[in-house]
């Protein structure tokens, strides 16, 4: 497994005695190659949790393990942890500081002790990855880039670490629809190539589109750990009760079912919902007419079930 | 019924950043109105000019060609600047950058205090503004203890205390969770309905734009499309080409038609699509 969190609790040292703790007895395991969404309303502990995953906040010993390393143990080399878990903060473009884009992206690997030539090579690869040609943008100042390009350059800075786990805190906030789609597509591609992705987001539509498993936090507690389709279809009341919403697509399918429409599966995206509705209206195989058959809604669920069904049950607060 | 007189008229506005004539026009001939008491969404991809145009509404930026007239005042007329800023209030993305005082109440009082009003008048305005955004119970709280949606409502109250005729909000919900987004939208709708404020709402979320009275699509510094949400979202393929998206129900409807399921072309909400597929009263 890549990440294991066991009974993690945390209070900010600056918290008043009357303030609730930021994290309360959180436990979960993330396997290599997973795509996990970390959900919860503002203040539920998401950002606090992700900062424990690469040692920015030091957990008590024995509570957070990254590839077998006890992050909280004295003597654990945190640079080894950070090589494995790349963390993309909210609004990461505010942290660009080097004179050129290429130098900025190379900073991370260099800082982890990667040799100069190799660091630059990784930086070039990462820039190509996010759609910025290093020959065009590499020598520019980060401040000459547009907002969307700066976001991508900052993301490249973390990709250049080439870490097996990527944790992103609200990476699409403020991007336009196309920018969001491109970023989601990139994450999906990285995940297909084997990168473990943990995505923190307020957008349930994004979760529906890319993630297979969801962890739901509320007031510092983990209240659900289950496949995304199950979270939205079987635990919608829980999702709403913590202040989040299920995607409009799911609401639509459920409203149709309440009127008696026999729609199969748990479609999450508009495309999946349309395919499921079409199967009901037109009989089997309607999508064949277009040649591009949408993936059946149940497909995602089954994928998630493959690895997690037995262990992943919603965890409710005691 | 004759069309009402616009509150704001944007006429042939062109604008570019920097002195170089080689710099591209960010606004390239914008003609647009904002009417009293309407809630209008401005949408468009990054770089389409939305935020630049918004900053023209209160004279923060001035047109290099054309003009912007707010309640009869030309924004290029320096003598009108403060009157214009009282007429058009701005709210931005990040609530944390907008709240400055130790308590909610003091924060909302900041603007009217700067106007040099009588303490009794300031107190009246603060009380009313907090009432309108539903934040009266939190008046003595420090802003940092509030949720994102509450912070934005306080930021809105701070602008309301200046008694504007128009609120301009630049992606006010992009940093909020779903509940915070709903709170802010509901607040804006009630301000428009109950108090007749004009609201210019800049957003990347087409589901939110669909809830407004009117939608304006900006593309490459021009108004590319405007109308009721139903009229605008009928142009699905065009919007997608411009890098925008459709409300979820409209996306499902587009996909259904492609698959050969007949549904109306102008579906906007899940309720409408449900009604089209399973009319109430009939059973399937």
CB atoms under 10 Å from CB of A217, counted, come to: 24
Question: How close does chain B come to A292, measured CA to CA in Å?
Answer: 10
- pLDDT at residue A302 greater than cutoff 90: no
pLDDT (0 to 100) of residue B34: 97
Q: A199-249, pLDDT tens digit by residue?
A: 999 999 999 999 999 999 999 999 999 999 999 999 999 999 999 999 999
For B265, residues 6+ apart whose C-beta sits below 8 A from its C-beta are B234, B253, B257
Is residue A314 within 8 Å of A222, Cβ to Cβ? Answer: no
The residues in A 264-293 lying below 8 A from B, measured between CB atoms, are 270-271, 273-275, 277-278, 281-282, 286-287, 289-290
Q: Which residues in chain A have Cβ-Cβ distances shorter than 8 Å to B245?
A: 177
CB contact under 8 A, B252 and A148: no
Residue A270 is nearest to which of B171, B244, B255, comparing CB atoms? B255
- pLDDT band at residue A308 using 50, 70 and 90 as cut-offs: very low
Q: Is A60 exposed, middle or buried (0-12, 13-18, 19+ CB in 10 A)?
A: middle
> From B144, which residue of chain A is nearest by alpha-carbon distance?
A43
For B131, residues 6+ apart whose C-beta sits below 8 A from its C-beta are none
Which H or E run includes A6?
strand A3-10
CB contact under 8 A, A249 and B252: yes
User: How far, CA to CA in Å, does A168 sit from each of A49, A300, B180, B205, B250?
Assistant: 12, 22, 21, 21, 29
Q: Tell me the residue ranges of DSSP E strands in chain B.
A: 8-15, 27-34, 39-43, 65-70, 73-74, 88-91, 166-170, 198-202, 214-219, 222-227
- pLDDT at residue A145 greater than cutoff 90: no
> From B273, which residue of chain A is nearest by alpha-carbon distance?
A252
CB contact under 8 A, A178 and B248: no
CB contact under 8 A, A252 and B249: yes
Question: How close does chain A come to B59, measured CA to CA in Å?
Answer: 24
- pLDDT at residue A291 greater than cutoff 80: no
Q: Which residues in chain A have Cβ-Cβ distances shorter than 8 Å to B206?
A: 177
Q: Which residues in chain A have Cβ-Cβ distances shorter than 8 Å to B258?
A: 274, 290
User: In this structure, what are the phi and psi dihedrals at residue B94, rounded to the nearest 5 degrees?
Assistant: -95, 110
- pLDDT band at residue B105 using 50, 70 and 90 as cut-offs: very high
Strands of the sheet with A23-30, listed across from one edge: A23-30, A3-10, A64-66, A69-70
Is residue A229 within 8 Å of A304, Cβ to Cβ? Answer: yes
Q: Tell me the residue ranges of DSSP E strands in A96-164.
A: none
Question: How close does chain B come to A249, measured CA to CA in Å?
Answer: 6
Q: B22-75, pLDDT tens digit by residue?
A: 888 999 999 999 999 999 999 999 889 999 999 999 999 999 999 999 999 999
Query: What string of DSSP letters covers A57-103?
Result: S-PPTTSEEETTEETTSTT--HHHHHHHEEEE-SSGGGG--SSSHHH
Rounded to the nearest 10 degrees, the angle between the axes of helix A147-159 and helix A101-111 is 30
Question: How close does chain B come to A309, measured CA to CA in Å?
Answer: 28
Q: Which residues in chain A have Cβ-Cβ distances shorter than 8 Å to B178?
A: 41, 202, 204, 243-245
The residues in B 22-51 lying below 8 A from A, measured between CB atoms, are 45-47
- pLDDT at residue B246 greater than cutoff 90: yes
Q: Which of B80, B94, B93 is nearest to B51 (CA)?
A: B93
pLDDT (0 to 100) of residue A285: 52
The residues in A 85-124 lying below 8 A from B, measured between CB atoms, are none
Q: A41-94, pLDDT tens digit by residue?
A: 988 999 999 999 989 999 999 999 999 999 999 999 999 999 999 999 887 887
Percent of chain A with pLDDT over 90: 73
Q: What's the full length of chain B, in residues? A: 284
**Pick among A152, A176, A292 to test the B interface (most B CBs inside 10 A):** A176
CB contact under 8 A, B259 and A289: yes
Is residue B231 within 8 Å of B216, Cβ to Cβ? Answer: no
> From A293, which residue of chain B is nearest by alpha-carbon distance?
B259
pLDDT (0 to 100) of residue A288: 43
Which tokens in the block code for residue B79? 């003598």
Q: Which of A168, A220, A163 is nearest to A48 (CA)?
A: A220
User: Within an 8 Å CB–CB cutoff, is residue B251 touching chain A?
Assistant: yes
DSSP structural state of residue B5: P
Which tokens in the block code for residue B151? 């912070």
Q: Which residues in chain A have Cβ-Cβ distances shorter than 8 Å to B149?
A: 42
pLDDT (0 to 100) of residue B221: 96
- pLDDT band at residue A133 using 50, 70 and 90 as cut-offs: very high
User: Within an 8 Å CB–CB cutoff, is residue B260 touching chain A?
Assistant: yes
| Predicted model pTM | 0.85
Residue B46 is nearest to which of A179, A286, A290, comparing CB atoms? A179
**Pick among B270, B273, B275, B282 to test the A interface (most A CBs inside 10 A):** B270
Question: How close does chain B come to A274, measured CA to CA in Å?
Answer: 5
């Amino acid at each position: 497994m890549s990440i294991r969190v066991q009974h993690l609790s945390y209070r900010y040292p600056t918290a008043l005695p009357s303030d609730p703790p930021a994290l309360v007895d959180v436990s979960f395991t993330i396997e290599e190659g997973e795509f996990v969404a970390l959900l919860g309303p503002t203040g539920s502990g998401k950002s606090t949790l992700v900062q424990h995953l690469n040692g920015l906040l030091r957990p008590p010993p024995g509570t957070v393990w990254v590839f077998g390393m006890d992050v909280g143990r004295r003597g654990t080399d945190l640079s080894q942890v950070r090589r494995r878990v790349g963390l993309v903060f909210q609004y990461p473009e505010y942290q660009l500081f080097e004179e050129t884009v290429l130098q900025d992206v190379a900073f991370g690997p260099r800082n982890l002790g990667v040799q100069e030539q190799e660091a630059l090579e990784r930086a070039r690869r990462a820039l190509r990855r996010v759609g910025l040609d290093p020959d065009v943008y590499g020598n520019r100042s980060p401040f000459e880039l547009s907002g969307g390009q700066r976001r991508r350059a900052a993301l490249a800075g973390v990709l250049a670490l080439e870490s097996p786990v990527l944790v992103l805190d609200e990476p699409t906030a403020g991007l336009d629809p196309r920018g969001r789609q491109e970023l989601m597509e990139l994450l999906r591609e990285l995940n297909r190539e084997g990168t473990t992705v943990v995505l923190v987001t307020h957008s349930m539509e994004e979760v529906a589109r890319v993630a297979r498993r969801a962890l739901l936090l509320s007031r510092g507690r983990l209240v659900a750990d289950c496949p995304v389709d199950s979270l939205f279809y079987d635990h919608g009341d829980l999702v709403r009760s913590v202040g989040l919403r299920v995607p409009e697509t799911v609401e639509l399918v459920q409203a149709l079912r309440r009127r008696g429409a026999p729609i199969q599966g748990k479609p999450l995206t508009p495309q999946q919902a349309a395919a499921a509705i079409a199967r009901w209206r037109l009989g089997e195989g309607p999508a064949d007419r277009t040649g591009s058959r949408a993936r059946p809604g149940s497909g995602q669920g089954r994928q998630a079930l493959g690895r997690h069904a037995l262990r992943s049950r919603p965890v409710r607060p005691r | 019924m004759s069309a009402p007189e616009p509150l704001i008229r944007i006429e042939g506005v062109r604008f570019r950043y920097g002195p170089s004539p080689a710099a591209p026009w960010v606004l390239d001939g914008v003609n647009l109105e904002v009417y009293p008491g309407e809630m209008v969404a401005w949408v468009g991809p990054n770089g389409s000019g939305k935020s630049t145009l918004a900053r023209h509404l209160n004279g923060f930026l001035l047109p290099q060609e054309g003009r912007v007239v707010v309640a009869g005042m030309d924004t290029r007329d320096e003598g009108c600047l403060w009157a214009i800023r009282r007429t058009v209030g701005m709210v931005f993305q990040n609530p944390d950058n907008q709240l400055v005082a130790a308590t909610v109440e003091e924060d909302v009082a900041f603007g009217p205090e700067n106007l040099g009003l009588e303490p009794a008048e300031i107190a009246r305005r603060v009380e009313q503004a907090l009432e309108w955004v539903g934040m009266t119970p939190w008046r003595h709280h420090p802003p940092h203890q509030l949720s994102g949606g509450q912070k934005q409502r306080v930021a809105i109250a701070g602008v309301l205390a200046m008694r504007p005729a128009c609120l301009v909000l630049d992606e006010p919900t992009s940093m909020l969770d779903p509940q915070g987004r709903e709170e802010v939208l509901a607040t804006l709708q009630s301000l428009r309905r109950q108090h007749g404020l004009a609201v210019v709402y800049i957003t990347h979320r087409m589901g939110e734009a669909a809830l407004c009275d009117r939608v304006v699509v900006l593309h490459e510094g021009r108004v590319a499309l405007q109308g009721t949400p139903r009229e605008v979202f009928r142009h699905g393929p065009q919007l997608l080409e411009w890098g925008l998206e459709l409300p979820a129900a409209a996306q499902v409807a587009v996909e259904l038609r492609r698959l050969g399921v007949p549904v109306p072309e102008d579906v906007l909400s899940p309720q409408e699509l449900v009604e089209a597929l399973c009319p109430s009263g009939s059973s399937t």
